[in-house]
Structure 1
Amino acid sequence: MDLEIVELRPDQRPAVVELCGRALDLPEDAAEAPAIVDALWARAATHRPVVTWGAYREGRLVGVLVGSLAASDGDARGHVDLVAVDPAHRRRGVGRALLSTAERTLAGLGAAEVLLAGNPPYYAWPGIDVRYTPAVCAALALGYRQDRTAWNMTADLSYDGSPALRPTEAAEARLAGRGVTVRRAEAGDLPALAEFARATFGGAWDAELAGSVGREGAGCHLAERDGEVLGFAAYGSSRPSWFGPMGTAPAAEGSGIGGVLLRRCLRDQRAAGVTAAQIGWVGPVPFYSGSAGARIERVFFLYRKALGD
């Protein structure tokens, strides 16, 4: 049967969500298909060029790919953020056709290479979950080479005695004795938070902060002294179960600010009905393990391919 590859429109979102709900094999991914599609497509489109392609057979959507250019100016990399293929149509050239189309499109937009990896600030996953074995095999067969490994951690919020829900009142009192105030961030705090994140970490967290502060299902807490931001922690910018980003000023490391901010956010997520918070693309594993009893649960392979190879 002939396969037709077409660029998808925003009004086709329901069909894309429905396909992802069937095609994403891990239950946690399938359950969050609407939030994943929104993060990659609707909101991400305002921050960087995004291309979304659909594969049709006999008028039925059987595959979808979302790709994008790197968020940084002058970065000649394209990203494949999501590929989903109807289980009944796998191993029939759908994924290959979508990736070939994406590579040509991204090359036309200036990309010199393509990464099968998340494109912050909005991404579905850091890379390919190692449990998606067919996707790993497809990446290798299509000439992609493994570049890095990343992981997510999980904080268990399902029971009252969880280390992730330990009280913070005593620690906050100690911080207050040193002139540090810990509170929920408000819309008026966004400029200072964004400036702190840029100056301290050099990352592009503006959009994630804006998507967390004051938005339903999301939030942010900050620590400050004499009006100066010392740290922040946010959650829900990409989907309700995800924690991050967060950051503490180097001068304040070891003060306990990070653990307080983390657990305040996790308590919010628990109150909203989240039973397991995902901490995405983790760097400091010991911090999250010690502060919230989090464990490494999802491991991802990241791939890249130079266009023209």
Structure 2
Amino acid sequence: MEIIELGPDRLPEVVDLCRRALDLPEDATEAPAVVATLTERAATDRTVLRLGAIRDGVLLGVLLGSLSATDPRRGHVDLVAVAPAERRQGIGAALLTGAEARLAALGAAELLLAGNPPHYAWPGIDVRYTPAICAALRLGYRQDRTAWNMTAALTEGSPALRPTGPAEQRLAARGVTVRRAEPADLPALAAFARSVFGGTWDGELAGSLGRPDAGTHLAERAGEILGFAAYGSARPSWFGPMGTAPAAEGSGIGGVLLRRCLQDQAAAGISAAQIGWVGPVPFYSGAAGARIERVFFLYRKAIKGA
């Protein structure tokens, strides 16, 4: 077996392996979107690493990693997948060791087993992927954070699909317009996200606008953006990010924007939306009946200069 860097021509093999290797159905089903997010979209603003474990020309395992878009001294492992029949043979450990060496050579001093916004598949390692957690601990990674997703049911009668019309009328009476964002809105939305929230939400908004399986809604008054909500940046079933200007908090804007996005996802045939890397749990619980479902451990390790 050897660890090699994979070219774009082998990405269909990567998708096929992920479909077979990702044990959670929601991950396996959206494997094409996950791989596209971590390779094609991620390559627009960072250095991307694609490693494969190969034996006799057959792909046995894959690792997708990257350098941080904001701090090149930090590397990320975004995905590790090993073919079910090849597990417990050290393939995952070999891929991680290979990633450490290659990312260190690119200048990284620390490696995170954690999502690398704005293009990420998961916040960290889902606690149900127990072998991955065991491998991380064996290789000297330490847990430093916990994150979680919430799930909103998009079936008939769900609180997530409550009509937004009455609330939108109340907002209109106060001069607030709620509408679907267009690609031409991206510069203003990105500037709003950067100035109010910082971080990388502007990149996630860019991934949500202008694609058939994604979208963004916004609220504005007299041309001033008051809030936004987006979905589909990482994959079709995921919601986020969303944000409301501090001065507009408590106005009901957030709940309207959230449910408009969830209604779009339901119309596309999605039966449950994942609200990724959640902060305000009570808001999503009250506005959409969402519940905490996926829990992730995030790990880190110094990879040079120790």
Paired position in structure 2 for 1:54: 52
Q: Secondary structure at the match of 2:16?
A: helix
Contact residue 244 and residue 279 of structure 1 kept, 8 A? yes
The whole-number CA distance in structure 1 between the counterparts of 2:297 and 2:230 is 26
Tell me the amino acid that sits aligned with residue 63 of structure 2. L
Aligned-residue CA RMSD (Å): 0.9
Q: What TM-score do the two structures reach when normalised by structure 1? A: 0.97
Q: Report the Cα offset of residue 71 of structure 1.
A: 1.1
Of residues 208, 213, 221, the one that matches 1:212 is 208
CA-CA distance at 1:206 after TM superposition: 2.2
Equivalence map 1:23-172=2 (5 Å): 23-72=21-70, 74-158=71-155, 160-172=156-168
Shift of 1:57: 1.4
For 1:178-197, list aligned pairs within 5 A. Answer: 178-197=174-193
Contact between 2:143 and 2:298, CA under 8 Å: does it hold in 1? Answer: yes
Structure 2: give runs of 5+ residues left out of the alignment.
none
- Please say if residues 10 and 42 of structure 1, whose CA atoms lie closer than 8 Å, have aligned partners that are also in contact: no
Q: Secondary structure at the match of 2:117?
A: coil
How many Å separate the matches in 2 of 1:8 and 1:205?
Answer: 29
Tell me how far 1:28 sits from its aligned partner: 1.0
Runs of 4+ in 1 over 6 A off after TM superposition: none
Q: 2:245 aligns with which of 230, 244, 249?
A: 249
Q: How far 1:121 sits from its partner (Å)?
A: 0.4
User: Is the CA contact (8 Å cut-off) linking 2:115 and 2:121 kept in structure 1?
Assistant: yes
Shift of residue 75, structure 1, vs aligned partner: 4.6
* CA deviation after TM superposition for structure 1 residue 84, in Å: 0.3
Q: TM-score, normalized by length of structure 2?
A: 0.98
Contact 1:233 1:262 in 2 (8 A): yes
> Which residue in the other structure is 2:288 paired with?
292
Task: Determine helix, strand or coil for the equivalent of 2:208.
Answer: coil
Corresponding position of 1:232: 228
Residue 112 of structure 2: SS of its match in structure 1?
A: strand
Structure 1 residues not aligned, in runs of 5+: none
Deviation at 1:149, TM superposition (A): 0.3
Distance 1:212 1:12, change over 3 A: same
Cα displacement string for residues 87-138 of structure 1 (whole angstroms, at most 9, x for unaligned residues): 1111111111111110011111111110000000011100000001101100
Q: In 1, Cα distance between the equivalents of 2:48 and 2:210?
A: 26
**Identity of counterpart residues, as a percentage?**
76
Amino acid at match of 1:28: E
Does the residue aligned with 2:256 lie in a helix, a strand or coil? helix
Equivalent-residue separation in structure 1 for 2:294 and 2:300 (angstroms): 20
